[in-house]
């Protein structure tokens, strides 16, 4: 329970007066255990400090943006240097061209890049490009897949009207039949298929992309002239130094990027192949802050680290170390823990835990031991983590399984997650 007189509590009370709901969006702690802090003071490397001074090994990495460590000295030096020269100017700097060149060189399907701020800017722009390219309306996407918070894709219905959602068809991720039937239903009006690089929906087991599903998406697009979009906003650079579907040999026409491409500095991107270049050049998309130079300087430095370091191999090895160690400790404590998703973006769910009461108890006990894990959203590894950090997390897990064992029989339902019971 958030302590009565903690700074976090005081800030929550003040926020209630001046921020709708006290906090909104994906970083609101409304659906997390009661003791999770809402407000933080700083981040350094793989750690964050809450406003009451508690330090945590952070397996959320800001929900993705932290790839090379918070306050990474090289990235932030590049950012600060450019800030001194100029950031938001009357036009872009040379860095915009360099950033586009760097991304096009790194991502095999891409011939061009456009920059924006948030992942939602990039996914919405992808939809506009696809509709401009095909002069058609319909988009197919997987049920439950998150592509951002604009009216066309936000997961909450409040304030959204039917026409915002018009011309969308849904399939089940990895289900070739449902993809084919959505395509048949779209007929000659199919503009694009959106695909998550793997199934990374909240609250449920994650799943790798099925090759037949990915190939079918590609074939449908080739057959109909629609564009295939891989939404790499969340997974980009944690699975490959290329578009995530390059790992299974399926190339999209468009890919969307954000979160970690400048290690936390605000920039996102839409990349495309030559096929979509003309459409991308005739749509009108822009923003006051889209051409800022400092995030581009940070992005160039981040991409240099991507190219020149073994960060991906290291976070993969660390991910495997956590997965193996956790499996061992769960087994020893007598718990069936399902660990799904790529090792660098894991999700843990307990067997027989429909309202996540075990997950909440375990996560709280981890938090108590200085490790910030998430009970129902995929987590993220960063290159600032070390083997010693993972071993500390495993020690914490051993203690947390002990707490769960003692308390399992007396755990009450998690009221705020009652909607989950029986849902899957």
Binding track over 78-117 against ligand PMP, x by CB under 6 A: ----------------------------------------
Q: How far is the CB of 292 from ligand PMP (least distance, A)?
A: 15
Q: Residue 157 phi/psi, 5° resolution?
A: -80, -20
Q: Which residue is nearest to ligand PMP (CB)?
A: 119
Q: Which is nearer to ligand PMP, 120 or 255 (CB)?
A: 120
Q: Which is nearer to ligand PMP, 254 or 400 (CB)?
A: 254
Q: Which is nearer to ligand PMP, 259 or 369 (CB)?
A: 259
Binding track over 271-310 against ligand PMP, x by CB under 6 A: ----------------------------------------
207: helix, coil or strand? strand
Does residue number 345 form part of the binding site for ligand PMP (CB under 6 A)? no
Q: Residue 89 phi/psi, 5° resolution?
A: -120, -175
Q: Which is nearer to ligand PMP, 58 or 353 (CB)?
A: 58
**Residues binding ligand PMP: number (CB under 6 A):** 13
Q: Tokens 């450019």 appear where?
A: 82
Q: Enumerate the β-bridge partners of residue 269.
A: 115, 257
Give dist(CA 229, CA 231) in Å, integer: 6
Contact 143, 172 (CB under 8 A): yes
Q: Which is nearer to ligand PMP, 168 or 386 (CB)?
A: 168
The only residue of 146, 290, 311, 401 in contact with ligand PMP, by rule CB under 6 A:
146
Does residue number 67 form part of the binding site for ligand PMP (CB under 6 A)? no
Does residue number 120 form part of the binding site for ligand PMP (CB under 6 A)? yes
**Among 108-116, 230-238, 279-287, 316-324, which window interacts with ligand PMP (CB under 6 A)?**
230-238
228: helix, coil or strand? strand
Does residue number 119 form part of the binding site for ligand PMP (CB under 6 A)? yes
Q: How far is the CB of 301 from ligand PMP (least distance, A)?
A: 20
Q: Which two three-digit tokens encode residue 40?
A: 């933080």
The only residue of 6, 38, 72, 118 in contact with ligand PMP, by rule CB under 6 A:
118
Does residue number 339 form part of the binding site for ligand PMP (CB under 6 A)? no
- Count how many Cα atoms sit within 13 Å of the Cα of residue 155 in the half-sphere of its side chain: 11
The only residue of 136, 147, 358, 369 in contact with ligand PMP, by rule CB under 6 A:
147
The only residue of 258, 319, 341, 359 in contact with ligand PMP, by rule CB under 6 A:
258
Contact 330, 324 (CB under 8 A): no
Measuring CA to CA, which residue among 315, 306, 298, 386 is closest to residue 73? 298
Does residue number 199 form part of the binding site for ligand PMP (CB under 6 A)? no
Contact 256, 269 (CB under 8 A): yes
Does residue number 233 form part of the binding site for ligand PMP (CB under 6 A)? yes
Does residue number 264 form part of the binding site for ligand PMP (CB under 6 A)? no
Contact 392, 57 (CB under 8 A): yes
List all residues 6 or more positions away from 313 whose beta carbon is below 8 Å from its beta carbon: none
Site residues for ligand PMP, window 13-32 (CB under 6 A)? none
Measuring CA to CA, which residue among 61, 30, 24 is closest to residue 45? 61
Does residue number 231 form part of the binding site for ligand PMP (CB under 6 A)? yes
Q: Which is nearer to ligand PMP, 124 or 216 (CB)?
A: 124
Q: Which is nearer to ligand PMP, 194 or 291 (CB)?
A: 194
Q: Got the DSSP string for 261-306?
A: TTTTSS-EEEEE-GGGHHHHHHS----TTTT-HHHHHHHHHHHHHH
Q: Which is nearer to ligand PMP, 79 or 257 (CB)?
A: 257
Q: How far is the CB of 358 from ligand PMP (least distance, A)?
A: 25
Cα-Cα-Cα-Cα torsion 289, 290, 296, 299, nearest 10 degrees, comes to 110
List all residues 6 or more positions away from 319 whose beta carbon is below 8 Å from its beta carbon: 342, 343, 344, 346, 381
Q: How far is the CB of 118 from ligand PMP (least distance, A)?
A: 3
Contact 375, 347 (CB under 8 A): no
| Binding residues vs ligand PMP (CB under 6 A) | 118-120, 123, 146-149, 196, 231, 233-234, 258
């Amino acid at each position: 329970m958030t302590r009565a007189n903690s700074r976090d509590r005081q800030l929550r009370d003040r926020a209630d007066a001046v921020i709708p709901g006290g906090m909104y969006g994906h970083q609101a702690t409304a659906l997390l255990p009661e003791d999770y802090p809402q407000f933080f003071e700083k981040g350094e490397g793989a750690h964050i400090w809450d406003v009451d001074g508690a330090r945590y090994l952070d397996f959320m990495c800001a929900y993705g943006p932290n790839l090379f460590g918070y306050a990474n000295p090289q990235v932030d030096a590049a950012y600060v240097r450019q800030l001194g020269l100029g950031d938001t100017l009357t036009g872009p700097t040379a860095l915009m061209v360099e950033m586009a060149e760097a991304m096009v060189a790194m991502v095999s399907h891409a011939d061009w890049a456009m920059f924006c701020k948030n992942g939602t800017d990039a996914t919405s722009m992808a939809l506009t490009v696809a509709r401009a390219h095909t002069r058609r309306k319909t988009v197919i996407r997987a049920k439950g897949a998150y592509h951002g918070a604009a009216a066309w894709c936000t997961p909450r219905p409040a304030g959204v009207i039917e026409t915002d959602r018009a011309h969308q068809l849904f399939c089940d991720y990895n289900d070739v039949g449902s993809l084919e039937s959505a395509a048949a239903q779209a007929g000659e009006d199919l503009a694009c298929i959106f695909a998550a690089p793997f199934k990374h929906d909240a609250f449920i087991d994650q799943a790798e992309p099925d090759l037949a599903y990915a190939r079918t998406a590609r074939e449908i697009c080739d057959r109909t002239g629609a564009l295939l979009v891989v939404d790499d906003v969340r997974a980009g650079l944690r699975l490959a130094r290329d578009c995530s579907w390059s790992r299974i040999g399926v190339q999209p026409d468009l890919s969307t990027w954000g979160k970690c491409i400048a290690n936390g500095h605000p920039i996102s991107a839409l990349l495309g192949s030559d096929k979509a270049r003309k459409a991308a050049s005739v749509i009108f998309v822009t923003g006051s802050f889209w051409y800022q130079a400092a995030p581009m300087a940070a992005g160039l430095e981040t991409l240099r680290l991507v190219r020149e370091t073994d960060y991906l191999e290291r976070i993969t090895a660390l991910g495997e170390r956590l997965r193996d160690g956790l499996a061992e400790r769960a087994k020893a404590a007598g718990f069936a823990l399902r660990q799904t998703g790529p090792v660098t973006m894991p999700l843990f769910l307990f067997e027989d835990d429909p309202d996540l009461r075990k997950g909440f108890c375990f996560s709280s006990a981890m938090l108590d031991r200085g490790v910030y894990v998430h009970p129902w959203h995929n987590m993220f590894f960063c290159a600032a983590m070390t083997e010693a950090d993972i071993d500390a997390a495993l020690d914490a897990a051993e203690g947390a399984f002990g707490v769960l064992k003692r308390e399992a029989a007396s755990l009450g339902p998690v009221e705020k997650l009652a909607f989950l019971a029986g849902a899957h």
